[in-house]
């Protein structure tokens, strides 16, 4: 079958981009969406044009590299499906589709459909770890994990960090991603010693990376390829409240002041404290 594509082309971070229209022929129903783009790119290369840049790695829906908007929906029209696992049988010959990269201040476009998602890495760095003794492997049953806790942690750990939640959110919030990462460790016994610090650190990092905030629209849940539910955000909110009320001993030094540009007027006191703490 034959498709018309309207694709965002952008040379690099600093060059303004624009939409360019292409026709792809010879698309078969068993191709994935990315394989369809491979066909387009081969055609472009033989014509001496620049191929369309898009991110991909595993092509089996588990690495979180791929992702862009197809007709205004992150990862396209199929629920719980990454673009690499989205097959062309869900489209009709003659369809015209618009492909657009994630748009968020925290995710600058690097080229065409590729955005820089290292803001997510920095949120994970801020608290996505536990402290554990190293050395010989402990007995598997040395720490008992309740079945419910293990299941919750496992559900949360399904997040592949693709960024579709941010892309779909009207506020470009990273709450679903951060909630999943926080819940992953906060629900396990191994995560308890650093629980409150982790919550506060990761939430502060989210603000520092200039993500927006949650208005409970639920768009993230609807497009998440891993079906991370909105209730994880409720759990994160609960943990933030818990952390704020349990910190009554000494002031906690957390990495990352709120440095949101729109924060500047409201968080002067924060930056003042930052100075005194360094």
Q: Is 40 in the site for ligand SF4 (CB under 6 A)?
A: no
Q: Of these partners, ligand SF4, ligand FES, another protein, none, which one is at the site of residue 159 (CB under 5 to 8 Å by kind)?
A: ligand SF4
Q: Is the dihedral of CA 184, 186, 192, 195 positive or negative?
A: positive
Among residues 88, 75, 87, 5, the alpha carbon closest in space to that of 41 is found at 5
Q: Is 173 in the site for another protein (CB under 8 A)?
A: yes
Applying CB under 6 A, which part among 49-57, 133-141, 160-168, 264-272 lies near ligand SF4? 160-168
Q: Of these partners, ligand FES, another protein, ligand SF4, none, which one is at the site of residue 272 (CB under 5 to 8 Å by kind)?
A: none
CA angle, residues 6, 9, 12, in degrees to nearest 5: 165
Alpha helices for 128-194 (secondary structure H): 147-157, 164-168, 175-186
Tokens found for residue 46: 């033989």
C-alpha to C-alpha distance for 15 and 214, rounded to whole angstroms:
31
Q: Is 235 in the site for ligand SF4 (CB under 6 A)?
A: no
C-alpha to C-alpha distance for 176 and 169, rounded to whole angstroms:
10
Residue with Cβ nearer another protein (87 or 103): 103
C-alpha to C-alpha distance for 240 and 232, rounded to whole angstroms:
12
Max Cα separation, the chain? 67
Residue with Cβ nearer another protein (135 or 251): 251
Side-chain-side CA neighbours of 251 within 13 Å: the count stands at: 7
* Of 101, 161, 191, 256, the one binding ligand SF4 by CB under 6 A: 161
Q: Is 225 in the site for ligand SF4 (CB under 6 A)?
A: yes
CA angle, residues 82, 165, 170, in degrees to nearest 5: 130
| Contact code string over 199-228 relative to another protein, x by CB under 8 A | -x--xx-xxx-xxxxxxxxxx-xxx-----
Taking CB under 6 A as the criterion, which residues in 164-183 touch ligand SF4? 164-165, 176-177, 180
| Contact code string over 38-77 relative to another protein, x by CB under 8 A | -------------------------------x-xxx----
Q: Of these partners, ligand SF4, ligand FES, another protein, none, which one is at the site of residue 228 (CB under 5 to 8 Å by kind)?
A: ligand SF4
Q: Of these partners, ligand FES, ligand SF4, another protein, none, which one is at the site of residue 161 (CB under 5 to 8 Å by kind)?
A: ligand SF4
**Residues engaged in binding ligand FES (CB under 6 A):** 56-59, 61-66, 82, 84
Among residues 144, 116, 130, 153, the alpha carbon closest in space to that of 235 is found at 153
Please check whether residue 118 is in contact with residue 190, taking contact to mean a CB–CB distance below 8 angstroms: no
Q: Of these partners, ligand SF4, ligand FES, another protein, none, which one is at the site of residue 21 (CB under 5 to 8 Å by kind)?
A: none
CA angle, residues 165, 171, 172, in degrees to nearest 5: 45
Q: Is 162 in the site for ligand SF4 (CB under 6 A)?
A: yes
Binding region for ligand SF4 (CB under 6 A)? 159-165, 176-177, 180, 224-226, 228
């Amino acid at each position: 079958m034959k498709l018309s594509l309207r694709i965002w082309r952008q040379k690099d971070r600093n060059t303004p981009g624009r939409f360019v229209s292409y026709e792809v022929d010879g698309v078969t129903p068993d191709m994935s969406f990315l394989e369809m783009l491979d066909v387009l790119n081969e055609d472009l290369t033989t014509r001496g044009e620049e191929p369309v840049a898009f991110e991909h790695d595993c092509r089996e829906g588990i690495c979180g590299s791929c992702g862009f908007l197809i007709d205004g929906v992150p990862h396209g029209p199929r629920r719980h499906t990454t673009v690499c696992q989205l097959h062309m049988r869900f489209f009709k010959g003659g369809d015209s589709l618009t492909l657009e990269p994630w748009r968020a201040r925290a995710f600058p476009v690097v080229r065409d459909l590729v955005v820089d998602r290292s803001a997510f890495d920095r949120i994970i760095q801020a608290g996505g770890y536990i402290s554990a003794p190293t050395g010989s492997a402990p007995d598997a049953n040395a720490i008992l994990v309740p079945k419910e806790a293990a299941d919750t942690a496992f559900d949360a750990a399904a997040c592949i960090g693709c960024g579709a939640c941010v892309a779909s959110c009207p506020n470009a919030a990273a709450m679903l991603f951060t909630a999943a990462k926080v819940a992953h460790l906060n629900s396990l016994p191994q995560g308890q010693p650093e629980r409150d610090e982790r919550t506060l650190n990761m939430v502060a990092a989210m603000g520092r990376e200039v993500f927006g905030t949650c208005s409970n629209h639920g768009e993230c849940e609807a497009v998440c390829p891993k079906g991370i539910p909105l209730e994880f955000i409720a759990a994160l909110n609960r943990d933030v409240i818990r952390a704020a009320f349990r910190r009554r001993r000494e002031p906690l030094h957390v990495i990352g002041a709120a440095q949101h540009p729109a924060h500047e007027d409201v968080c002067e006191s924060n930056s003042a404290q930052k100075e005194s703490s360094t």
